[in-house]
Amino acid sequence: MSESVLDLRKDPMGWAIADYYNNGVAGRLRVFSSMFDEDEMSVKDLFRTFDKMPLLEQRALELCCGNILDVGAGSGCHSLALQEMGKDVCAIDISPRSVDVMQKRGVADVRFVNMYDKSLKGKFDTILMLMNGTGIVGRIDKFSEFFARINELLSEDGQVLIDSSDLIYLYENEDGSVDIDLNGSYYGEVDFMMQYKNMKGDTFDWLYVDFETLSYHADQNGFCSELIFEGEHYDYLARITRK
Ligand code: SAH
């Protein structure tokens, strides 16, 4: 598992976030993957305030308690909302430009670090991972490494609040049947590459996982999971705790 951070020259999302923060507008943040057609990510939406967040995220923020770790905090939208609620949060990200913006926006405790980097120490009561938080796991076969790291970072009675989507809808036929190659890799394993202006990031693995599969792997690694909220389009929020 890589424990590294992004190079300043390979941080398209971070540059888009910085442009939006500095100028109030950003260019197109383009997203390429082998699974989907070329897409664009709304940079403005990365700056969403509590009122503009989907209910799933609002619910997650309300459930956050104790000392909180916001993993992959991006523009700091969730960390800032948590601070406004009087909660105690540490924001981490591997994007140098995003970390810079979070500091400027007033996130009190921001660290430029990968969640797998052992220099990140501490026991957190809540580990928050939003906007397809399971993405950071990368692939199904990385779940044991993920849970081993969660085990290190989570306080005894701590909780992980994480969201994902079941991509099964991409394979459903009109009659409700599903075309999945059961011998192939898991259908939610996606690779992405982002581009902002002329800057391209490296390709990275990003996992979308259905709740049953998440629960299975949590169980295999000593954790249990609870379905907290279901969104409107195969998305959900889960709470993971120790068994
Ligand atoms: N949570 C934010 C941003 C989501 S985008 C929001 O909801 O708006 C995912 C973020 O995770 C990116 O900023 C990316 O740089 C960061 N990230 C990816 N892998 C990471 C890792 N291993 N450790 C910490 N941050 C990571």
What per-residue confidence (pLDDT) applies to 202? 97
What per-residue confidence (pLDDT) applies to 99? 98
What's at 38, amino acid-wise? Answer: E
Closest-lying ligand 1 atom to the alpha carbon of residue 46 = 8
At residue 230, does pLDDT exceed 80? yes
Q: How many Cα atoms occupy the beta-carbon half-sphere of 171 within 13 Å?
A: 13
Residue 213: Cβ within 10 Å count: 18
At residue 70, does pLDDT exceed 70? yes
- The predicted model gives 120-149 an average pLDDT of 98
Query: Could you read off the pLDDT of 87-121 as tens digits, one per residue?
Result: 999 999 999 999 999 999 999 999 999 999 999 99
Domain count, the chain: 1
Closest-lying ligand 1 atom to the alpha carbon of residue 136 = 19
Give the domain extent around 145: 54-184+206-242
> Is residue 149 domain-resident?
yes
Q: Taking the model in full, what pTM does it have?
A: 0.97
- CATH number of the domain that 116 lies in? 3.40.50.150
> Is residue 193 domain-resident?
no
Query: Could you read off the pLDDT of 53-66 as tens digits, one per residue?
Result: 999 999 999 999 99
> Is residue 167 domain-resident?
yes
Q: How far is the CA of 177 from the centre of ligand 1 (A)?
A: 34
Q: Which residues line ligand 1 (CB under 6 A)?
A: 13, 46, 71-74, 77, 92-95, 98, 114-116, 130-131, 136
CA–chain centroid gap for 34, Å, is 20
> Is residue 25 domain-resident?
no
What per-residue confidence (pLDDT) applies to 186? 96
